[in-house]
Structure 1
Amino acid sequence: MNFGERLKKLRGEKGYKQITVAEKVGIKNNTLSSYEASKRQPDFDTLKKLANLYDVSIDYIITGNEHSNSPDEMWKEFLDPKTQIFFKDLQNAPEEKINELISFWEFIQERDKKK
């Protein structure tokens, strides 16, 4: 089950119509529809509002893991548009390029420690 299907399921469990949820979290109905169809992903603030409304964690909405509760700051960082661009490209990258990127990042961290 993907995040859109989980959102739709959670809404159904609460007995809400899309328009009701959209109004409660301050988004347009067609935006919520796009989320539930997995055509778009909510930003951190909207995701937090949805999690609160449905009384679940952000982890559950995104991953389906009921027993995980990562800090909000982690999700805020991960869902930042700049970060998403980075991870989107990494999803389809070959393992050797990912390892090269990790090495480069470690080099930058070491360089910055010396400053």
Structure 2
Amino acid sequence: MDIGKKIISLREKRGWTQKELANRVNLNVSVMNRIESNERPLKDNELLNLANVLDVSTDYLLDRTDTSIPTPEEKDEAEFLAFANNPTLQKWYKELPKSKEEDLEKLRKMWEILKDNGEL
């Protein structure tokens, strides 16, 4: 995958517009547009800024590795699933596959409270 497509994919995973990403890396939106469409190469400092803001390595953006660093949302989701599938939750654990979305949301809120209080 080319660097422009990777940037677009990472930006969209975070729900950011092109303008939001451009602002976060201190670039003009038209420059960001040309970078994403591969019409303009990245300068070294721009590559570093993008990697930092998108929470990936420069090697990932340059296609030297196919492993990106998960987004904070992906990390939270993985942590939540590990919490939700913890066998010590006994009844909730056994009933989880049958749970309604509303119940899963209650569990997610409890997990967030415990996480925020440093109890996890």
Equivalent AA in structure 2 for residue 61 of structure 1: L
Instruction: Determine the C-alpha separation between the residues in 2 that align with 1:6 and 1:51.
Output: 11
- State TM-score, norm by structure 2: 0.53
RMSD, aligned CA = 1.6
Larger RCO: 1 or 2 (CA < 8 Å, sep 6+): 1
State the identity as a percent: 29
Equivalent AA in structure 2 for residue 6 of structure 1: K
Q: Where does the alignment leave 5 or more consecutive residues of structure 1 unmatched?
A: 69-115
Which of the pair has more CA radius of gyration?
Answer: 2
Q: Give the corresponding residue for 2:65.
A: 65
- State TM-score, norm by structure 1: 0.55
Alpha-carbon displacement from aligned partner over 1:75-103 (angstroms, at most 9, x marks no partner): xxxxxxxxxxxxxxxxxxxxxxxxxxxxx
State the 4+ residue runs in structure 1 displaced beyond 2 angstroms.
Answer: none
* Alignment of structure 1 residues 99-110 onto 2, 5 Å: none
Q: Give the corresponding residue for 2:108.
A: none
* Alignment of structure 1 residues 33-112 onto 2, 5 Å: 33-63=33-63, 65-67=65-67
Residue 64 of structure 1: how far off its partner (Å):
5.5
